[in-house]
Structure formats: structure tokens, C-alpha cells
């Protein structure tokens, strides 16, 4: 590097930090893109907003409802393309990895290490909160899908014992059928059926062969190649 280039760079850096300093004094702001717009969800998110505002951080809300996040991803694409990404974006699963691969996400290693996130966040979640070894996201929650919701009176009429095996499940379902109700209440929207089958499906397709871990390893190793 020539001395002239170095001097120019140093001057530029000084200007940049001065500018950043004055802005930081003026206002700390987060702009948050999310689709938690229904009553209960909005109330839940408000807890976060109030916590930040009590620390002097202004919350700029960017709600994009609809489509389980698809509309939000479209809005995000436009902002990132314009070079003006929001501060934080609600996101799920492999979408996170897709954005991380484009080198547009921030690095949270300092705060994550200071607060010991690695010790309290399950490793399976960290697969989505970290990319290439760096923290890029704060996980909010865990929804889980392998639940069965049973009407208590209907269960009592079918013997009263919650099934613990496939055979016990079939026995309860048969009994409910005899009792004249629809044993399995099911919706047939596209994309819902695999969830219904997942518990047995996942045991053979995912738990033993684990396509996910092989896939994510392959995808992760790509950027370092």
C-alpha cells in the first residue's frame, strides 16, 4: 500500500467513525421485518419492543402479513437488492441458510460469546442460528409438530388410557370408530398431510438415515471450498 493510499484510507475511516458517532448519539433504532401481526402474536412481540424502548432503542415496525412469511421474503429481497436491509428479520429454517450464503447477514459472535448462547441453545437450533461457525440469528422459540391432541371425554369412552405405542393407538382409534365419532380429525390442505405422517415417517426416513444432516453438511461446506 502506498503512503498516499494509506493516508486517504485513514482519513476516510476517521470521517466514517465520526459520522457513526454522531448518529449513535442522536438515536439507536432497529427496523424489524416480521409477520407476527395477529392479536396474540403482536402482543407477544410487544414485550420485546417495550424492553428495547426502555433501553433507549426506537422500534421501527415493518410488518408484512400473509403467506406464512412468503410475502415478507419478497419484501426483504427488494430491500437487500437496494442495499438497505432492515436490522432484523423473522425467518425460519433453510431460508436462513439461503440468505447467509449471500453474505448479507451480520455477525453476532461478540454478544453470543459474552452471554454464553452456545450453552443454552440446542445444537439442532444452532444449525440455523449459525453459519460458517458464526452466530447470525437469535432464536425466539421452538414449535414442535409430533403432537397428538385428544378429546378427553372421547378418550375416556375409548378406555381412558393415552396410547403409548402404535398398537395402542390403533386400539383407541378402533374404539372411537365403534363409538360413532371420526377417530382422526384431519385437514387436507397441501403440505399438511406429511405432518400427519411424520412421526412414523420421520423415524425411518429422518431419524435413522438423517437426510438433513448430510444435506446441511454439504451445503455448509460449499462457501469454504
Q: Closer to other proteins at the Cβ: 11 or 43? A: 43
Is the distance from CB of 102 to CB of 136 less than 8 angstroms? no
217 binds other proteins (CB under 8 A): no
Closest approach of Cβ 3 to other proteins, in Å? 26
Site for other proteins in 71-100 (CB under 8 A): 80, 85-96, 99-100
Work out which of 15, 124, 132, 217 binds other proteins, going by CB under 8 A. 124
Q: Closer to other proteins at the Cβ: 45 or 64? A: 45
Cα distances from 128 to residues 17, 82, 134, 156, in angstroms, run 32, 25, 11, 41
Dist. CA 159–CA 22, nearest whole Å: 71
Closest approach of Cβ 104 to other proteins, in Å? 6
Site for other proteins in 149-208 (CB under 8 A): 149-155, 158, 162-166, 168-170, 172-173, 176-177, 181-207
Site for other proteins in 25-64 (CB under 8 A): 28-30, 32, 40-41, 43-45, 47-48, 51-52, 55, 57-58
Cα distances from 41 to residues 34, 35, 92, 148, 208, in angstroms, run 11, 9, 16, 23, 36
17 binds other proteins (CB under 8 A): yes
Is the distance from CB of 47 to CB of 141 less than 8 angstroms? no
219 binds other proteins (CB under 8 A): yes
Q: Closer to other proteins at the Cβ: 64 or 129? A: 129
Q: Closer to other proteins at the Cβ: 63 or 183? A: 183
Is the distance from CB of 134 to CB of 105 less than 8 angstroms? no
Dist. CA 85–CA 105, nearest whole Å: 9
For residue 37, count other CB atoms closer than 10 A to its CB. Answer: 13
Amino acid at each position: 500500500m502506498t503512503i498516499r493510499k494509506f493516508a486517504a484510507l485513514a482519513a476516510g475511516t476517521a470521517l466514517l467513525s465520526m459520522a457513526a458517532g454522531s448518529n449513535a448519539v442522536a438515536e439507536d433504532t432497529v427496523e424489524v421485518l416480521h409477520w407476527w401481526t395477529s392479536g396474540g402474536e403482536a402482543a407477544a412481540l410487544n414485550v420485546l419492543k417495550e424492553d428495547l424502548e426502555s433501553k433507549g432503542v426506537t422500534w421501527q415496525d415493518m410488518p408484512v402479513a400473509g403467506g406464512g412469511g412468503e410475502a415478507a421474503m419478497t419484501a426483504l429481497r427488494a430491500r437487500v437488492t437496494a442495499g438497505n436491509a432492515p436490522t432484523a428479520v423473522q425467518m425460519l429454517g433453510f431460508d436462513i441458510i439461503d440468505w447467509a450464503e449471500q453474505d448479507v447477514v451480520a455477525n453476532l459472535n461478540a454478544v453470543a460469546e459474552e452471554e454464553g448462547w452456545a450453552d443454552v441453545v440446542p445444537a439442532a437450533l444452532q444449525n440455523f442460528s449459525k453459519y460458517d461457525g458464526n452466530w447470525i440469528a437469535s432464536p425466539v422459540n421452538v414449535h414442535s409438530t409430533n403432537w397428538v391432541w385428544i378429546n378427553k371425554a372421547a378418550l375416556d369412552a375409548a378406555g381412558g388410557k393415552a396410547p403409548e405405542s402404535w398398537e395402542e393407538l390403533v386400539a383407541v382409534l378402533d374404539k372411537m370408530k365403534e363409538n360413532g365419532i371420526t377417530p382422526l380429525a384431519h385437514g387436507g390442505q397441501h403440505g399438511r398431510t406429511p405432518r400427519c405422517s411424520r412421526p412414523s415417517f420421520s423415524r425411518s426416513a429422518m431419524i435413522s438415515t438423517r437426510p438433513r444432516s448430510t444435506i446441511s453438511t454439504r451445503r455448509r461446506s460449499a462457501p469454504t471450498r
